[in-house]
Structure 1
């Protein structure tokens, strides 16, 4: 579920609102677009720009988020926000030998063709993509629905390249993903601010009720609908306001969050990175300013602008920047982004957040020295300074939790009256970090409970 942050997908979502359709039937509604720019573009535009001979020449002089789309391009844009794509269903990253498959979407064409994570695609329809950019590779692999793409794949353990013919299909990606992490910490990932996001998040919160803490993941989330940003802000307690908008020739207006039937009812973290943009930044700025969550990660993208859509009779659409947004208190977002409260290394955001949630939960426990670079087959020895009554201990007394993941099942073996061994039921994951916790649920030989719990951090080589 938690994909690589270096990966790229065919999903592009930016923040916008809908305005009434403009009904003009010309092949390119140049005069109408000139007037729309004069009246509604966030900044004044000189007549020397507006007098240019095509819409493309005009929008080229505006900000990068103001573009003119054909009907087909517009539909692709909306599909991106709603997490609907046409392709083979893989997440890719660059590789020196082509592009590497990081994950395969369950039930998608690639999964049906038995592609695997780690596969390296070297050729698409006979054309080498070695040395090409990820964007070039994606443009070749994607295409029209029900068309076939032929891939040449190198796979570890296979001497000869593998050829697969895969039919492209429309794939609906999950917009909200959630699970309970080890230590009873709830994790919710929001991939886009789509129309159904708030309803899906409400279901996720309901499913995870009883959690001791919450982690909301907005990494790589490029935004979506402005009303959804208001909805999502409403899940955070004490977040009365969602953002402030400043339109052309208008006074700043502060917009409230939408009250939700369920809220995050415990310590809450929000994960962001340099690809968290637009509506993600609205929510992040709001919860940081109103102290309803702690931000983890890296400074966000810095897209503090809002776009409106103007539709024409031929199905084309002008997406144009009509306002800048700020935090509810007026802090700028555009070109500066939102700075997290806790800055982490790239790809370590979830691990660090989960660690801090657990350590806060185990307040009062004694921290033991960290174990560094242990083997994947590591067995842990826990030795007490007094004789223990191990047999009457609670089964939940010892936990081994992968940071950013689940609790690892382990067997507890009694060595002697002062010592037990914790044996994981499966090998640890190389490169991962864990928390080994012994809760004060054991009693000594005199039937007196432990005075305090203990924990230690473990890193696996």
Structure 2
């Protein structure tokens, strides 16, 4: 049973506080913000507002002036994460926050200039209506989609829960379009990607810490419980809900282990703080199994809580790059029925009381720092960890970069206006459909690949560069990895990725050599020693 902490503070993606004009959280404390109106400064502000509204040559509505005033207040804060949300911005924020939206449950993209269904989510109205991967959406509510962008189609298909949308579907093998009427409903997009990789190694990628992420990972652990070792990939994960991150860390730690703590300001007070701490309810879902966490400079916020907790307790080896360093959390306050304010309200700490926050300017740029002043903490196993902002990996490995020829090709294609990524997506999708229908494994048909390259040349790609074996191998790598993903062969896609992903490759190599977490730390020490020589 995954623990559900009482306090639902949120990082990067945050919790909405329900009371207009109040700061309130699940601990039950609240304080009205209206008392500020009694201060002289607040009275001056209101007077200025009324004068501008009544006398300024340029006329604006009250709502516009108030919203601009709020923006002005935010600009005066040294808070890179503060934001006033307009209604549409808040809706988009909520969707990315939770993974939930009101629609029919399909993933779409524009392939060969046609809106194409590239995924149908399980248990959604789209699946119930018989929609399939590869279906072409040629009309929505009797309006042709010719010339539409993916965003245009998405806006037209989505709508309020309980309403319907009429689609016209072109499907291979059918001479007449299908015309299903599909009910809109709440749809949840999963945040995880899981499979076995290599020699029975469980791979779990988490692209955000959304609502339900802990349940998704727990299900994956049950499915993959016989694996010899586990990789949790948090690279590129911008964060999410604090309570979900705590529940995720809880999956790998014993009962009573501290997960994190937080320090915030007592509402309305200037010299006191409110402290909260969370402990695991356990048990470890994969006891005794060696585990590696992958991070990079884009791993932030709630994902850093997970990595930091597992690192502090010697439960996982952390590999990759120093993480972003977002060690503060935000609350969202409702200003009105349509307007919301996000504000940084506190700081969180790892179990060993490391503050992982890296100070930045209001524009998000890191402030200068002196690594020699970074404090160091010691784990129960005697490992020393740096506490200088962000999670410092136990084994630092930089992501792979393009070769000079690969850079030359991608630059030339971009300069010539070749839509390289869309063409790779289109070709990979077509190939995956054929391979899936024939029951074959991910592969590239040589003749089809030559046609693909010829098409790139016709759009402006340099033939000499494309004939270079290094460039061709790079494109083959991109295509076959994408084909495997389109065929839902995540394990094979990761094995292909590892050919050019040194972080993943090293994780797989280490887990192939060890049976316990202690052996894993020892092996990593050897890798660090080799890097130093």
- TM-score, normalised to structure 2's length? 0.47
Tell me the SS of whatever aligns to 1:16. Answer: coil
1:142 matched to which residue of 2?
Answer: 158
Q: C-alpha distance in 2, partners of 1:289/1:324? A: 18
**Correspondence 1:66-77 to 2 at 5 A:** 66-68=83-85
**Correspondence 1:167-316 to 2 at 5 A:** 167-174=183-190, 180-181=196-197, 183-190=199-206, 193=209, 197-198=213-214, 201-202=217-218, 204-206=220-222, 208-218=224-234, 223-237=239-253, 240-242=258-260, 245=263, 255-264=277-286, 265-271=288-294, 277-287=300-310, 292-295=315-318, 304-310=327-333
Kept in 1, the 8 Å contact 2:145–2:153? The answer is no
**Is 1:114 paired with 2:125?**
no
Q: C-alpha distance in 1, partners of 2:82/2:124? A: 31
Q: C-alpha distance in 2, partners of 1:266/1:38? A: 60
CA deviation profile, 1:264-303 (whole Å, cap 9, x unmatched): 4322233457875531233234445666434567776765
1:332 is displaced (CA, Å) by: 2.7
More helix by share: 2
2:71 matched to which residue of 1?
Answer: 60
2:121 matched to which residue of 1?
Answer: 105
2:344 matched to which residue of 1?
Answer: 321
**Correspondence 1:118-129 to 2 at 5 A:** 118-121=134-137, 124-125=140-141, 126=143, 128=145
Q: C-alpha distance in 1, partners of 2:37/2:293? A: 36
Alignment CA distance shift 1:429-1:262 (3 Å): closer
Structure 2 segments unaligned to the other structure (5+ residues): 1-9, 23-31, 50-61, 75-79, 367-389, 402-441, 447-483, 500-504, 513-533
Kept in 1, the 8 Å contact 2:82–2:341? The answer is no
Tell me the SS of whatever aligns to 1:321. Answer: strand
Structure 1 segments unaligned to the other structure (5+ residues): 1-11, 25-31, 40-44, 347-372, 378-401, 409-427, 440-461
Kept in 1, the 8 Å contact 2:167–2:180? The answer is yes
More strand by share: 1
CA deviation profile, 1:225-262 (whole Å, cap 9, x unmatched): 32332332333459745366565866796845535212
1:89 is displaced (CA, Å) by: 0.7
1:113 is displaced (CA, Å) by: 3.5
Kept in 2, the 8 Å contact 1:229–1:279? The answer is yes
Cα RMSD for the two superposed structures: 5.6
Kept in 2, the 8 Å contact 1:82–1:192? The answer is no
1:86 is displaced (CA, Å) by: 1.4
Kept in 2, the 8 Å contact 1:218–1:270? The answer is yes
Alignment CA distance shift 1:34-1:215 (3 Å): farther
1:87 is displaced (CA, Å) by: 0.7
Tell me the SS of whatever aligns to 2:156. Answer: helix
1:309 is displaced (CA, Å) by: 3.9
Q: C-alpha distance in 2, partners of 1:112/1:230? A: 35
Q: C-alpha distance in 2, partners of 1:38/1:329? A: 40
CA deviation profile, 1:83-141 (whole Å, cap 9, x unmatched): 44311111234556255433110232222343333445465442547463x44443232
1:422 matched to which residue of 2?
Answer: none
- Choose from 332, 344, 349 the match for 2:357: 332
Kept in 2, the 8 Å contact 1:243–1:325? The answer is yes
Alignment CA distance shift 1:35-1:316 (3 Å): farther
Q: C-alpha distance in 2, partners of 1:244/1:37? A: 30
1:50 is displaced (CA, Å) by: 12
Alignment CA distance shift 1:187-1:113 (3 Å): same
Q: C-alpha distance in 1, partners of 2:343/2:173? A: 51
Tell me the SS of whatever aligns to 2:202. Answer: strand
- TM-score, normalised to structure 1's length? 0.53
Alignment CA distance shift 1:261-1:250 (3 Å): same
Tell me the SS of whatever aligns to 2:231. Answer: strand
1:28 matched to which residue of 2?
Answer: none
Q: C-alpha distance in 1, partners of 2:37/2:130? A: 50
